[in-house]
A and B are shown apart, each in its own frame.
Chain A
Amino acid sequence: MQPWPWWISGILVGFTVPLMYVATGNGFGISTSFQQIGAMSSPRSRLAYFRNFDRRKGLWTLMFAMGIALGGFIAANFLTAEPIEFLPASYLSIGGAARLFIGGILIGFGARYAGGCTSGHAINGIANLNLPSLLATIFFFVGGLAVTWLLGFLIF
């Protein structure tokens, strides 16, 4: 069965939030792992954003990220008959890599500036009725729709 239907997927995605709280005591979120990696790679950084980050407390974000990668490996290799096309073939080029790099910068910068990403803001935040998270999610879509509809002819 490929892919899982939206309702199974949606229920399982939603359950990640209470699972994380009950089993680890932490709020579901992924982009903090970027700050953790930054803080671990420059522990005596002159940048307060890394220097003042509690690297021990944040270690779980890195474990979570590695788990997600492992989950991707298991799903792609053992739970799927046909190979999954993660990225379109056109991205396997210099131009494609450049797009991924620039897009990646926007993801890292934007998620940390906004204080969270799709997991921390859109799912965990809205589920906890946090108004700034609802606004963040609206602007995730403002940015994504603007790029797709207004600049799409240049990018895709």
Chain B
Amino acid sequence: MSSTLERPPEKHQSAMAVARSEKVTATTKKPITPISKTTLLFSLLIGVYFGVVLTKSEVVRWQRVHDMFLFQEAHMYLIIGLGIGVAMVSMWLLKRFQVHSFATGQRIEYKPKPWHSGVVIGGTLFGAGWAITGACPGPIYAQIGGGAWLSLVTLAGALVGTFLFAELKGKLPQ
């Protein structure tokens, strides 16, 4: 990618022509966000890790989610609660020791998700979908990978829901 962008000009081109062509590319092309291969590779690997954990912990099973909402077993509550606790301590340590990401070289910073009415309305609708399908977005992907082809229907629904939101975004209370 960068090799094509930074290719040195042909020898026979005049300095003027080079300057002109550079000006043209600068004005006609939007700045492009560089894609870090490290980020992409590690996103995939952490995905594999997380997919195995979701499946082996059975968070991906409809029955587990159903029993959670029925208060019949603590399994899901304990996993989510402990997960939040471990993540909280980890984040405190990362901030305390000003750890830098090795993909970006920048200090690790949490970007707060803002408050708006969607947190209540969208949150409630999401919870309803979670109870019906027995899956939140992570488990949808893990179910499909695990061979539950029916979960492709859940994913299709989720994408339709996302398009619906994109369509209605301007009209919804924010």
Contacts and interface: CB of A to CB of B under 8 A. Distances in A.
A48 B126 CA distance: 22
B128 A144 contact: yes
Contacts of A2: 56
Contact of A103 (B104, B118, B129): B129
Nearest to A151: B128
Interface of B is mostly: helix
Nearest to A139: B123
Contact of A91 (B62, B136, B155, B169): B62
A111 B146 CA distance: 23
Given A84-B61, A113-B165, A117-B136, A73 B146 contact: yes
Given A24-B39, A84-B61, A104-B156, A144 B104 contact: no
Interface stretch (B5-13, B17-25, B85-93): B85-93
A42 to B, nearest CB: 9
Interface string B74-108: 11001111111111101101100001011110101
Contacts of A129: 88
A125 B141 CA distance: 21
Given A116-B113, A130-B113, A135 B69 contact: no
A45 to B, nearest CB: 8
B52 A75 contact: yes
Interface residues of B, number: 114
Interface of A is mostly: helix
A106 B118 contact: no
Interface string B139-164: 01111111110110111111111111
A46 to B, nearest CB: 10
B133 A127 contact: no
A146 to B, nearest CB: 7
Nearest to B157: A104
B26 interface: no
B122 A114 contact: yes
B16 interface: no
B46 A20 contact: yes
Interface string B45-56: 111111111111
B111 A69 contact: no
Interface of A: 2-4, 6-28, 30-31, 33-35, 37-38, 45, 47-50, 54, 56-57, 59-61, 63-77, 79-80, 84-88, 91-92, 96-97, 99-133, 135-149, 155-156
5 contacts: A14-B84, A26-B43, A72-B145, A106-B128, A148-B131
Interface of B: 32-36, 38-63, 66, 69-70, 74-75, 78-88, 90-91, 93-94, 99, 101-104, 106, 108, 110-116, 118-138, 140-148, 150-151, 153-167, 169, 172
